[in-house]
Amino acid sequence: MTDVMPDVGPVVDDQPIGIAMHGVSPERRRAGRWLVWLATLGLAAIVLAQILFVSGVTAFGFANWRPIVYAWLVWSVVIAAGQVIVRGERGQRALFILPAVLFTVAMVIFPTLSGFYIAFTDWNLSQLEGRHFNGLDNLRSLFQDAYFWNALGNMVYYVLAVLGQYTIAFGLALLLNADIHGRKFFRVAFLMPFMLSPVAVSWMIGKSIMEFRFGPAAQVARFLGWDSPSFFTTPMIARAAVMAMDGWVSIPFVMVLLLAGLQALPGEVMEAAKVDGASPWQAFWKIVFPLTLPVSVTALILRIIFELKLADIVITVTDGGPGGATDTISSFIFREYRERSNVGYGTMLAQFYFIIIIVFVTLLLSLAARVMKRYS
C-alpha cells in the first residue's frame, strides 16, 4: 500500500533541532520499568484468573469479560506513562502513535484470533450441544463449494467493472475541468450519489426505479424498444444492473480524485501542447493521461479494494440471483451466517477470502509500482 502512496515529506531526524535532551535519571528509568512490569503482570494475572474461572477451575471471577477491557485500558495508560518516564522526550514522541497502535491491535488481533478458532469448528447455531473442533472439514467443503467459486468468479467481473467506472469518471472529471459556468453546481450535483447509503440506494434505484412495471428506467427501456425490461432475470443484465448501481455510488469518488489531479496539472504544459498544434485527443494521451497516471493508479487501487467488499446492494436487491449470477463473496457469506446460522463454515469462507484478498492486493500493488516506474 505504501508504495503507491506519495512520500510523506521529510521525516525529522531522531534528534529534533533545537530541543535539548532532557536527561532521564537512572532511578527514574528503573521506577518506570518497574511500573510497566507491574502493570503487565497485573493484566496477565487478571486474564489468567478469568480464564480459570470460566473454565471452572476456580470459583472467583467476573460475570463477563468486560473488566478485562478495563484492565487493558489501564495497562495501556501505564505503558504510555512508562514510555515518558523511562525515555523522557523520546517517550513523549512515542505517545503520539501509541493510542492508535494499542487501539488497532486490540480491535483487530483478538477478533482475528477468535475468528481463526471458529473457522475450524462445525459451529451451527441450531446445534443442541454447541460447537466442535472439526479440523480441515470446513476447508475441504470450501473447495467443493460451487457457490463460493461462483461468487469468486463474479468478483472478477465486478473488479473489471471498476475500469468502466474509471473511464466514465475520467470523462466527467475532464468535463468539470473544462472552462464552464456553474462548475460549483455541477460538482455538488455529481458528488451527491457518493453521500447516500448503499442500502437506501438499493431501494431507490434497484427496487423502485428499475421496477419492471412502473419504474422509470423500465419505461425508458421500453421506449427504446426493449419489450420486457426486466433487469434482474438474465445473468449478464442482472450483473450489469448491479454494476450500474454500484457505479452510480462510486463514480463520484473516482471523479473527485481525477479532477484534483487534473487541476494540479501545470498550466504551461497545456499551453505548450497547444502551441505544438497537438489535437485535443493527442494532447490527452501524450500529456494529460501520463501526468495524471499516479492519481489514476491510486484511485483504481482504492476502488478495487472497496469493490472487493461489495455486499449491501447485492443483498438488498438480488440476494445473489438469478441463480447466483450476481452473488459476491460477502453476500454469500452473509447468507451463510444469517439464514443458515452456519457460523463455523461461514467464518472459514471469510478467512479464506481474506487471504485471497491479501495476495491479490499485494500483487496489484507491485504491478502498480512497476507501471509507475515505467512512466516516470
Partner 1 sequence: MTEKTNESLIGGTADRRAVLKGAAGFGAAALAAAGPLATLSMPATARAASSNAQFRADLVKVPGVGKGSPTDADWQKVGEMCLGPTKANVQPGEFKGVELTFMGLNNQNLHNFLFRGFLKPWEAYTGATIKWIDLAQADYNPRLQQAIATKTVDFDIIEMGAPFEGDVCGKGLASPMPDWVKQQIEVDDLVNYLKPPVGTWEGKTYRVNIDGDCHSWNYRTDYFKDAKLAAAWKAEGHTGDWAPPKTWQQVNEITKFLKGKKINGQDAYGYLDPAKGWGGFGFYFLEDRATSYVKVPGDKAWLFDPDNMKPLVNNPGWVRAIQDAIDCLPSEPADQLNADPGTTGFQQFLAGTGSMLSWWGDIGQMANTSDSSVIGTTIGFDINPGSDTLYNRKTGKWETPAGGINFAPNMAYLGWGVYVMARADADPKKSKAAWSAAAHLGGKDISLWTVMYPSGFQAHRNSHFQIDEWVAAGYDKGYISGYLGSLDKSYNHPNSAIEPRIPGIFQYYSVAEDELAKIYAGKATAQQGADAIAAAWEKITDTIGRDTQLKLYRASLGM
Partner 2 sequence: MRRAKKSAGRAIIYVLLLFWTVISLFPIYWTVTTSFKVAVDVTQGHMIPWYDYTPKWLGWRSLGLSPDTIFTESTVRSEFLFRFQNSVILSVGAAVLGIAIGSLAAYGLTRFEYKFGPWRNKDISSFFLSQLILPPVVLAMPFLVLYKQVDLFDTRIGLILIYTLSVLPIIIWIMRDQFAAIPHELEQAAFIDGCSVWGAFLRIVLPIALPGMAAAFILSVIICWNEYFFAALLSSTSAKTLPVMVASQTGSQGINWWSMAALSTAAIAPLALIGIFMERYIVKGLTAGAVK
Q: Is 287 in the site for partner 2 (CB under 8 A)?
A: no
Q: How far is the CB of 356 from partner 1 (least distance, A)?
A: 22
Q: Are 324 and 157 in contact (CB under 8 A)?
A: no
Nearer to partner 1, 274 or 338 (CB): 338
- Quick check: 36 and 82 in contact, CB under 8 A? yes
Q: Which residue lies nearer to partner 2 by CB, 192 or 367?
A: 192
Spell out, one character per residue from 37 to 76, where the chain touches partner 2: x when CB under 8 A holds, - when not. Answer: ---------------------------xxx-xx-------
The size of the interface with partner 1 (CB under 8 A), counted in residues, is: 34
Cβ pair 373, 9 in contact under 8 A:
no
Quote the least distance from Cβ 242 to partner 1, whole Å: 11
By beta-carbon proximity to partner 1, the closer residue of 221 and 249 is 221
Residues 355-374 that bind partner 2 (CB under 8 A): 357-358, 361
Count each helix (H run) and each strand (E run) in the chain, helices first: 15, 0
Q: Which amino acid is at 266?
A: P
Does 224 sit near partner 2 (CB under 8 A)?
no
- C-alpha separations of 19 from 13, 22, 84, 89, 94 in Å: 12, 9, 16, 9, 16
Per DSSP, the residues of 149-200 read HHHHHHHHHHHHHHHHHHHHHHHHHHHHHSS-S-HHHHHHHHHHHHHS-HHH
Query: Which residue lies nearer to partner 1 by CB, 75 or 232?
Result: 232
Q: Is residue 322 near partner 1 by the rule CB under 8 A? A: yes
> Could you tell which of partner 1, partner 2, none binds residue 9, using a CB distance below 5 to 8 A set by kind?
partner 2
Cell representation of residue 41: 503482570
Residues 163-222 that bind partner 1 (CB under 8 A): 211-213
84 binds, among partner 1, partner 2, none (CB under 5 to 8 A by kind): none
340 touching partner 1, by CB under 8 A: yes
Q: Compute the least distance from the CB of residue 128 to partner 1, in Å.
A: 6
Q: Rounded distance, CA 47 to CA 5, Å?
A: 40
Pure H helices in 264-342: 267-275, 280-283, 289-291, 293-307, 312-317, 329-338
Rounded Cα distance between 300 and 372, Å, is: 13
Only segment of 47-55, 69-77, 276-284, 314-322 that touches partner 1 (CB under 8 A)? 314-322
Q: Directed axis angle between helix 146-177 and helix 343-375, to 10°?
A: 40
Cα(349)–Cα(148) distance, integer angstroms: 8
Tell me if 236 contacts partner 1 by CB under 8 A.
no
Q: 130-149 mask for partner 1 (x: CB under 8 A)?
A: x----------------x--
Q: Which of residues 27-56 bind partner 1 (CB under 8 A)?
A: none
- Interface residue with partner 1 among 50, 154, 296, 318 (CB under 8 A) is 318
Binder of partner 1 out of 90, 324, 357, 372 (CB under 8 A) = 324
Number of residues that make up the chain: 376
Binding site for partner 1 (CB under 8 A): 122, 124-130, 147, 211-213, 228, 230-233, 235, 238, 318-325, 335, 337-342
